[in-house]
Structure 1
Amino acid sequence: MRTVAGSAKSIYKNRLSFVWDYKRDEAWFTDLSMRGLHLNRPGIIRYRFDYDPSVRYEYRMDYQDTMKAKQLEEFCDLYADAGWEYVGNCVNWRYFRRPYLEGETIELYSDKESIRSFYQKVQKTLGVVALVNLALLLVNSAHWISGWSGEGLIPTFIGALIVIQLFCTLLLGYGVLRFQKLIKLHAD
């Protein structure tokens, strides 16, 4: 398994995106590559790029559950056999690239069943994280309500935490619904 090595001309870019916009992220990486910026280290918000105007790549992202080193090596070798270079990973998202060919776009998943399976994997993860977050939200809400008459930083902190958890739970729920829509689009 070969990963992309860093160079002396690294540039960092920040971008907030959501998992249901992964296609937009792929297009962003591909567009930056056209301008000589090539993804070197993926991140949650901060990405590192190497500058090299002599090449251009097309990028794709794949979501896979946590893998042991040997499994990841075999997985990346499979992609390498199809012409994809492994760039790196972030939160179970695997980033790949291949030399850009004008007028030719290749998707990692091409048949309806594999696309649907991919969407279901991402949806399942979002759903589990949403449920865990909801459980924590309920526990924190119970603590906050029982300590409502108390003063100090702890009730204030728990109240702020509840607002953040509510927002995250709603956002994750929205992601589950977005992937459900994509799954239905690719139903037989």
Structure 2
Amino acid sequence: MKKFRQWWSWQDQEHGAWLQSMAAQGWHLRAVNWLDIYTFERGAPAEMAYRWDLHVNNFEPQYRRLLEDAGWEYVAAHGGWHCWRQPIVNRRVPEIFSDPADRLRRYRRLLIPCLALVVAQLLLLGQWADWGRAPLALSVLNWVSLGVGAMAAYSALQLGRRIAALKAA
């Protein structure tokens, strides 16, 4: 079965819960493509925890071995994100980042590129400030840039909320 599903970095818990519910129905994730189309394979219903971690440039073999030694099975990759799964035993849902400090570091690591993108988009918009006299192609580029900047700003805001909630806990 194939399903389309988009998600944002701050929605990692909800996304994992969706994959967990799919596994409980007997649909187990096998692959994800660049269009956010998820491929599931039919199997026995199972209680499985799914977790995603971001490693864009350097997915080290030692890191993979560390997670596999801890009982995680590597499932799929998507745009630098790597999906892992592990059975849920005695209603204990496993976590890759079980320590609150580790989760805090993870969300901060995700926040940095969002903020960098917001700054870059603001600098680009400053360069193209004379929208009224710009050629059509440049005007379209301005609006696209504005949209990308707005999405990055919203992402940064949501990640900031996750960070604040972890600090308060």
Rg (Cα) greater in structure: 1
State the partner residue of 2:165: 185
- Check whether the contact 1:37–1:51 (CA below 8 A) recurs between aligned residues: yes
Over 3 Å counting, the alpha-carbon distance change for 1:98 and 1:174 in structure 2 is same
Q: What number of residue pairs does the alignment pair up?
A: 167
* Structure 2 residue 50 is matched with structure 1 residue 59: yes
State the partner residue of 1:17: 7
- Which runs of 4 or more aligned residues in structure 1 lie more than 4 Å from their structure 2 counterparts after TM superposition? 142-146
Shift of 1:161: 2.6
Structure-2 separation of matches of 1:63 and 1:91: 9
Unaligned runs of 5+ in 2: none
| Residue type at the aligned position of 1:50 | E
| Residue type at the aligned position of 1:66 | N
Q: Among residues 41, 50, 53, which one is paired with 2:31 in the alignment?
A: 41
1:105-147 deviation per Cα after TM superposition (whole angstroms, max 9, x unaligned): 12221222111100100001212233233333444x3474443
Over 3 Å counting, the alpha-carbon distance change for 1:48 and 1:184 in structure 2 is same
Q: Among residues 50, 62, 85, which one is paired with 1:74 in the alignment?
A: 62
Q: Among residues 70, 76, 100, which one is paired with 2:88 in the alignment?
A: 100
Unaligned runs of 5+ in 1: 1-10, 148-154
Structure-2 separation of matches of 1:53 and 1:137: 52
Q: Among residues 97, 116, 137, which one is paired with 1:157 in the alignment?
A: 137
Structure-1 separation of matches of 2:47 and 2:93: 13
State the partner residue of 1:8: none
1:43-98 deviation per Cα after TM superposition (whole angstroms, max 9, x unaligned): 45221222213544220111234215xx1x21111101111011122222111001
Q: TM-score, normalised by structure 2?
A: 0.85
**Percent of residue pairs identical:** 23
